[in-house]
Amino acid sequence: MTQKLNIDRGIVRECRALAEHITNDLMGYIRSHTTDSVERSVVRLLGIDGADKSGTPYPNVFVEAVSRGRGLASGAAGFLADVMLTTGLGPDDAARAVAKKEISPDTVPRSDDDGREAVLKPLVDGAMGRIEENREHRERIKRDHPLSDAPLLYVIVATGNIHEDVVQAVSAAEMGADCIAVIRSTAQSLLDYVPYGPTTEGFGGTYATQENFRIMRAALDETAQKIGRYVYLVNYASGLCMPEISVMGAFERLDMLLNDSMYGIIFRDINPYRTFVDQHFSRMINARADIIINTGEDNYLTTADAFEAAHTVLASDIINEQFALHSHLMPRQMGLGHAFEIDPEKEDGFLLEMAQALLIREIFPDAPIKYMPPTKHVTGNIFQTHLVDMLFNVCSVMTGQTIHLVGMLTEAIHTPFVGDRYLSIKGARYARSNLKRLGQEIQFVDDGIIQRRAREVLKNAHDMLGEIADIGLLSALERGMFADIKRPPDGGKGKDGVVKKAPDYFNPFETLLEES
Give catalytic residue positions: 263, 298, 370
Question: Helix, strand, or coil here: 62?
Answer: helix
- Determine how many CB atoms are found less than 10 A away from the CB of residue 298: 22
Contact present, 245 and 208 (Cβ < 8 Å): yes
- Among candidate residues 68, 234, 265, 79, the one with its CA nearest the CA of residue 157: 234
Give phi and psi for 312, each to the nearest 5: -65, -35
- Among candidate residues 295, 189, 264, 265, the one with its CA nearest the CA of residue 477: 265
Contact present, 17 and 319 (Cβ < 8 Å): no
CA neighbours closer than 13 Å in the CB half-sphere of residue 181: 22
Contact present, 181 and 154 (Cβ < 8 Å): yes
> Cβ contacts of residue 164 below 8 Å, gap of 6+?
none
Euclidean distance between CA atoms 466 and 7, whole angstroms? 18
- Determine how many CB atoms are found less than 10 A away from the CB of residue 471: 13
Cite the DSSP H helix spans in 75-203: 76-87, 91-99, 113-144, 162-175
Strand partners, 370: 337, 403
User: Beta strand 33-35 with 498-500: parallel, antiparallel or unpaired?
Assistant: antiparallel
Helix axes 36-45 and 76-87, enclosed angle (nearest 10): 40
Question: Helix, strand, or coil here: 270?
Answer: strand
CB burial of 424-440 (b: ≥16 within 10 Å; e: otherwise) equals bbebbbebbeebeeebe
